[in-house]
């Protein structure tokens, strides 16, 4: 399989989605309004990760593009929990992509403590052979959720998916602490935004 050829449209999708989301952020800033987007990252899943996931799920290689929904991934990180749903609604209203599936792990966290909002979208990529519809995953989360998830991901990698019980329980407590932080910051959201507006004006 020529992975460079297969993954090229996914790279293009990630870059285009990042540009469009950064455009939303810039528009809010131009209007001197609070931007629900703090920052955006994106990646195409590395080939060894694709092969490992396909193997674990017993997916034939010729069905990888249909069965793996997160080969292309974009992450949107926000300041406040409310911002997550603002972005979700903005994505839903767009006409340049189609939403295939949504999973709200913000209001219904995973057992591990993981919180994030996942959207699987279908995105049209213009190639030299015509339009190719690409599946991509958009994850939307707060800074606190992102901090927790990044560390949990590292620990999962270290322990090959079998995190020791004592560390698991600490992670769950850390998740609750992170969400408590998000809740407290949401209460003083207006104060924070006003302070940021004053800072930017100066």
CA distance 130 to 136: 19
CA distance 87 to 28: 12
CA distance 150 to 152: 6
Catalytic residue among 137, 183, 191, 194: 137
52 is catalytic: no
- Enter the DSSP assignment of 36: S
Q: Which helix (H) or strand (E) holds 130?
A: strand 130-142
> 3-class DSSP state for residue 120?
strand
Residues shown for the chain: 202
- The catalytic residue positions are 137
């Amino acid at each position: 399989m020529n992975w460079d050829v297969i993954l090229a449209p996914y790279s293009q999708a990630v870059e285009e989605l990042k540009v469009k989301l950064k455009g939303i952020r810039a528009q809010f800033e131009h209007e001197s309004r609070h931007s629900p987007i703090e920052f955006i990252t994106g990646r195409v899943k590395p080939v060894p990760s694709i092969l490992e996931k396909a193997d674990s799920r017993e997916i034939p290689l010729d069905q990888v593009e249909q069965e793996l929904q997160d080969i292309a991934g974009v992450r949107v990180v926000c300041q406040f929990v409310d911002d997550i749903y603002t972005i979700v609604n903005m994505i839903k209203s767009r006409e340049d992509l189609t939403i295939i599936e949504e999973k709200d792990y913000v209001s219904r966290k995973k057992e591990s403590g993981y919180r994030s909002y996942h959207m699987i979208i279908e995105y049209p990529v213009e190639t030299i052979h015509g339009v190719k519809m690409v599946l991509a995953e958009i994850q939307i989360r707060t800074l606190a959720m992102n901090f927790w998830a990044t560390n949990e991901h590292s620990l999962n990698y270290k322990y090959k998916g079998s995190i020791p019980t004592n560390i698991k329980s600490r992670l769950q407590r850390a998740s609750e602490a992170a969400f408590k932080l998000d809740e407290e910051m949401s209460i003083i959201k207006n104060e924070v935004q006003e302070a940021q507006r004053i800072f930017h004006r100066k």
